[in-house]
Amino acid sequence: MSLLIAINGWDHRPWVERFRAAMPDRAVFEAQSAFDPASIRYAAVWKPEPGLLARLPNLKAIFNLGAGVDALLADKTLPDVPLCRIVNPDLTARMSEFVALNALMHLRQVNYYRACQQEKSWAPRDQPAAGDVRIGIMGMGVLGRDAAEVLLRLGFRVSGWSRSGFTMAGVAAYAGTEALPAFLNQTDILVVLLPLTDQTRGILNRALLSQLARDGALGGSILINAGRGGLQNEADILACLADGTLHAASLDVFETEPLSAASPLWTHERVILTPHVAADSTPHALVRAVVENIAGFERDGTLKDVVDRRLGY
Ligand code: NDP
Ligand code: OXD
């Protein structure tokens, strides 16, 4: 009943240490070292080398160590065993911090006041209230719903858009492609917490951004994308910033990561940029939950947070 840890892009060592401490009775291998493929029953992974999991003949389940499974599902050799993702209060709280922080930075005109500070210019501007600002969240899943609660508590007017619809007190609900224009038309700050799928790839393009409200209290529309870089068209975002279609943006994810040093996004005065850190996965918060999921599976065959592969998220 061995576990294989296959992690790329993060330091795998703290994960291996935590899993070994949490599962003292079984062998925990790291993909970087030698292991017998036939001995592996479970794999805990983040962006594993494509084809690796297909080489494990006795694999029973895969545990993705992040919330988004797009990178994993891009591996067409992925074995047809249950695939679980991270749904965890620690990761969710981190994302809501990120969304609230960025919404507040735009509300409180941080780009403008940072520029004033550099010029030693004492130049206060009118300050809209949160209640004057309409935030629309694309993706009302685990992360979108929690962010909505935090934004409501801060006083923003909140709406959400999802594929199949949802009900949440205080949040106007929009569902499906037909409802997208109406949702966008009443949104000042667009928060994107969608998964990357065949349906959502490239959705944040000029055609969509030009439907956002531009008559709001912040003097233009604002994009906050912490979903995936593949959702956005960066050339369109830059062009929309240049011609006023977009007033400002906060971007945590990019079409290609790491973002090229040549990208004009790095130095754009109205872009707040972070290197895919909106909601980190941390071993101390997540390993215990994966171990408990494995224990439940061995006890009665049940698994939590299983991905619907047909939907792609
Ligand atoms: P969930 O699966 O819980 O929620 C996804 C939401 O997106 C659901 O509301 C779903 O609709 C909606 N959705 C999916 N496809 C469509 C579509 N075609 N049209 C409209 N709505 C759609 O995911 P999470 O909330 O847990 O995570 C969301 C994403 O956040 C992850 O997939 C990942 O890409 C990203 N992420 C980024 C991180 C970062 O650090 N930047 C960290 C963690 C996650 P419905 O409710 O109808 O199913
Ligand atoms: C995730 C991420 O999907 O960190 O969890 O991007």
3-class DSSP assignment, residue 151 = helix
Separation between Cα atoms, residue 86 and residue 46, nearest integer Å: 11
Over the stretch 187-240, which tens digit does the pLDDT of each residue have? Answer: 999 999 999 999 999 999 999 999 999 999 999 999 999 999 999 999 999 999
Segment 274-295 mean pLDDT: 98
3-class DSSP assignment, residue 302 = coil
Asked whether residue 1 carries a pLDDT value surpassing 90, the answer given is no
pLDDT of 10 reads: 97
CA trace torsion 287, 50, 141, 195 (10° rounding): 140
Give φ, ψ of 84 to 5 degrees: -110, 150
CB 187 within 8 A of CB 213: yes
pLDDT of 23 reads: 97
Question: Which of 194, 196, 277, 281 has most ligand 1 atoms within 8 Å of CB, for mutation?
Answer: 194
Neighbour-count burial of 282, counting CB atoms closer than 10 A to its CB (0-12 exposed, 13-18 middle, 19+ buried): middle
**Ligand 2 pocket residue status of 68, Cβ below 6 Å:** yes
**Ligand 2 pocket residue status of 66, Cβ below 6 Å:** yes
- The percentage of residues in the chain with a pLDDT greater than 70, rounded to a whole number, is 100
Q: Is 276 among the catalytic positions?
A: yes
pLDDT of 2 reads: 97
Segment 110-117 mean pLDDT: 97
Closest-CA residue, ligand 1 atom 42, reads 279
CB 216 within 8 A of CB 188: yes
CB 144 within 8 A of CB 137: yes
The ligand 1 site (C-beta within 6 Å) comprises 66-68, 95, 139-144, 162-164, 166, 193-197, 199-200, 226-228, 252-253, 276, 278-279, 313
Ligand 1 atom closest to Cα of 280? 40
Helix residue ranges per DSSP H, the chain:
13-22, 70-73, 89-107, 110-118, 142-153, 180-185, 206-209, 234-243, 283-300
Q: Is 228 among the catalytic positions?
A: yes
pLDDT of 240 reads: 98
Segment 159-173 mean pLDDT: 98
Over the stretch 25-69, which tens digit does the pLDDT of each residue have? Answer: 999 999 999 999 999 999 999 999 999 999 999 999 999 999 999
User: Whole-model pTM?
Assistant: 0.98
Over the stretch 290-307, which tens digit does the pLDDT of each residue have? Answer: 999 999 999 999 999 999
Residue 186 CA, ligand 1 centroid: distance in Å: 21
CB 147 within 8 A of CB 192: no
Asked whether residue 287 carries a pLDDT value surpassing 90, the answer given is yes
CB 161 within 8 A of CB 144: no
Asked whether residue 278 carries a pLDDT value surpassing 90, the answer given is yes
Separation between Cα atoms, residue 31 and residue 136, nearest integer Å: 41
pLDDT of 133 reads: 98
Rg (CA), the chain: 21
Ligand 2 atom closest to Cα of 68? 3
Question: Which of 46, 193, 204 has most ligand 1 atoms within 8 Å of CB, for mutation?
Answer: 193
Separation between Cα atoms, residue 103 and residue 269, nearest integer Å: 17
Average pLDDT, the chain: 98
3-class DSSP assignment, residue 185 = helix
Could you tell me the two tokens for 105?
A: 């930075």
Segment 81-102 mean pLDDT: 98
Q: Could you tell me how many residues make up the chain? A: 313
Asked whether residue 167 carries a pLDDT value surpassing 90, the answer given is yes
49 DSSP 8-state letter? P
Catalytic residue among 18, 41, 228, 268: 228
Closest-CA residue, ligand 1 atom 36, reads 227
